[in-house]
Structure 1
Amino acid sequence: YMYRQKKCHDNYTGQNIKMIRTFFNWINDSCGIATGPHHKNFYIQKEEIAIITLTVEQLRFLMFDNDFEAKLSRPLKHAKDVFVLGCMVGLRFSDLCKIKKENIELRDSGHYLKMRSQKTGTDTLVKLPAPAMDILERYKKNKGTLLPVVSLFRFNKNIKKLAELAGWTYPLPRLRTRKGIKSQSQHNTLTPTRFCDALSSHTMRRTSITTMLTSGMPEYVVRKISGHTSDSKAFFRYVSLAQSLMDKEIEKMHVHFEERALVHTA
């Protein structure tokens, strides 16, 4: 029904099948209503959605291009500050909104951000780079939370506009799977998805984790900062992405070796 009539993709269909299985488990185990084990045969189909992250060059542009910042409205400047900070420290939007002055600790080697994740309850202690402290200093006079707080809907809308003004409007492929078969998404084909339209609050955390991994930071350190467990399937998606990026850079080095070999042979 969901595939043929509703034309749903694997992730949405799988979420509904998962809820149906949970419901049947509940009425069997908790309510004592015997319905049989048929629901355990329901297969939950999944698809891997491409991880959207900013490149280091894009992040540097937001951090240091003063001419671009001068053109932004006040709400967009606030969105840029929160977005850049999130890309540097890897916190979720809900945690960024809770940062207070007492969360900033001064130690011998610099400033640290100490937070407890609202979602997982895990504690993180992250050393803040100078650009992050510059952002927090702009809002040090704020009472309560340091950063300018807006709704998640408004924040996502602002960072999409921010990326559009930055010129990141190149199209992205919309490949989705239905019954495990990849196909071009038929949704809104007249106006293909642009990179700027694909950005959201999740991009901050994904950019931070990917940047840490590609810079050579050990996986266990990144997991400690991000709050992922050692067997987290979501985390290994970042590892795979980071490895593919590093492979491309290594391949560039291999080209230099091949060019030198040709010159030496000649």
Structure 2
Amino acid sequence: MAKKETTLSLISWLDKFIAESKNGKRLQKNGKRITDGTIDQYQYLSKLLEDFETAKQFPLRIKLLTTSNARVFETEKNYWKKFYRKFTDYLYDDLGCFDNYVGCMIKTLRVFFNYLSESKGMPVGSFHKQFYVPKEDISIVVVTPEQLNYLIYDKTFEQSLSVELDRIKDIFVVGCTVALRFSDLMNLKAANLEIVGDRWYLQVRSKKTQTYTRVLLPEYAKAILKKYKGKHKTLLPAFSKDYLNAKFKELGELAGWTTPLIKTRNRRGVPITVYKEKGSRRNYRFCDSITTHTMRRSAITTMLTLGMPEYLVRKISGHAPNSKEFFRYVSLAQSYMDNEISQVFDKLAVKKEESQLVD
């Protein structure tokens, strides 16, 4: 009788894990298919591990604990402790990654080991549960209601734009209004538009979360959609994410959003200032940090800032009631409102001083 193999290739089993996630054999806990974005993360991890194995000459394998031998257990515990230290050192020191990315990869690795243990019934041990997942709060960049108002209503600025940048502005304005994810925004079609009398609604089922959203469009958003009606297969001109990221920065610069923005990222829990130009230590500007993510984040923050109840905003954005990400928007909106209230009180104080001088 052949002896059962107890040492397996980590990369080979990771590839099987990715394949089962792709073909629908492996599903989320709620029964839904694994999203394309999540599968991309799995593939990034696979590539990283292959590169790490080659660069550091660290053989990646999985030993099945088929016996209760204490010496074997201790050997495996030390192997995975050494792996974790060397792999994270590789990510931080060789690749210059920050805590958020390292944490994402380690979290994905833990998901893979849970799959081996729970779905495949493989006795891989629980060493992966000791893999610490670094976390990092990355600052959110959003446009304020005043900035959005400028893009919508300043005709002089609009007329100064090229035809291409005017299209970019329109996409940005709608994106900052409806709070859709980028992929959903770019895939809007006539079937997503519901017209009831003089009211226009966008009805969308999110590609990522399958959450259904129905949003009433304001007049300026209706005007933008009318502008492109029948000209494209989609409601808005469709561009790639990379192209829009570059053009949004150009649009922000022309709008005068050039305030210096000090960007910090964490590496091993230590804040590090990130410069736009490392050599000259030149800081980023606000416009340099605008991306396609800014649209959805700005829409959510604007709704909260202008007084829409949190549960309604969550219904539109598709966030869960206990979402940590959502409450970052709540905090941001609160800080904006606090600043506005402070300015009002400062003006009242000035009025009081003027009144005392007159007396």
TM-score (norm 1): 0.90
| Cα separation, partners in 2 of 1:42 and 1:87, compared to 1, 3 Å | same
More helix by share: 2
From 189, 194, 202, the equivalent of 1:100 is 189
Q: After TM superposition, give the deviation of residue 212 of structure 1 in Å.
A: 0.5
| Cα separation, partners in 2 of 1:254 and 1:115, compared to 1, 3 Å | same
Partner of 2:234: 145
Partner of 2:108: 19
Residues 160 and 200 in structure 1, CA contact (< 8 A), matched pair in contact too: yes
- The reply on whether 1:243 has 2:303 as its aligned counterpart is no
Q: After TM superposition, give the deviation of residue 45 of structure 1 in Å.
A: 0.9
| Cα separation, partners in 2 of 1:144 and 1:257, compared to 1, 3 Å | closer
CA distance in 2, matches of 1:151, 1:125: 25
| Cα separation, partners in 2 of 1:255 and 1:107, compared to 1, 3 Å | same
Residues 75 and 158 in structure 1, CA contact (< 8 A), matched pair in contact too: no
State the secondary structure of the residue aligned to 1:3.
Answer: helix
Alignment of 1:155-174 (within 5 A): 155-174=244-263
What residue ranges of structure 1 are gaps of 5+ in the alignment? Answer: none
Residues 132-189 of structure 1: CA deviation (Å, up to 9, x unaligned):
0110110112253121111121122111111122222222112111222223236733
- The reply on whether 1:40 has 2:93 as its aligned counterpart is no
The number of residue pairs the alignment matches comes to 266
What residue ranges of structure 2 are gaps of 5+ in the alignment? Answer: 1-88
Greater radius of gyration (CA): 2
- The reply on whether 1:221 has 2:312 as its aligned counterpart is yes
Q: After TM superposition, give the deviation of residue 14 of structure 1 in Å.
A: 1.0
CA distance in 2, matches of 1:71, 1:170: 21
Q: After TM superposition, which residue ranges in structure 1, 4 or more long, deviate above 4 angstroms? A: 256-264
| Cα separation, partners in 2 of 1:7 and 1:139, compared to 1, 3 Å | closer
The aligned amino acid for 1:179 is R
- The reply on whether 1:117 has 2:206 as its aligned counterpart is yes
With 95-104 and 47-56 compared, the bigger mean Cα shift is at 95-104
With 184-193 and 168-177 compared, the bigger mean Cα shift is at 184-193
TM-score (norm 2): 0.68
Partner of 1:29: 118
Partner of 1:85: 174
Higher relative contact order (CA 8 A, sep 6+): 1
CA distance in 2, matches of 1:7, 1:207: 29
Between the aligned residues of both structures, percent identity stands at 48
Q: After TM superposition, give the deviation of residue 31 of structure 1 in Å.
A: 4.2
Two-structure CA RMSD over aligned residues (Å): 2.3
Q: After TM superposition, give the deviation of residue 108 of structure 1 in Å.
A: 4.3
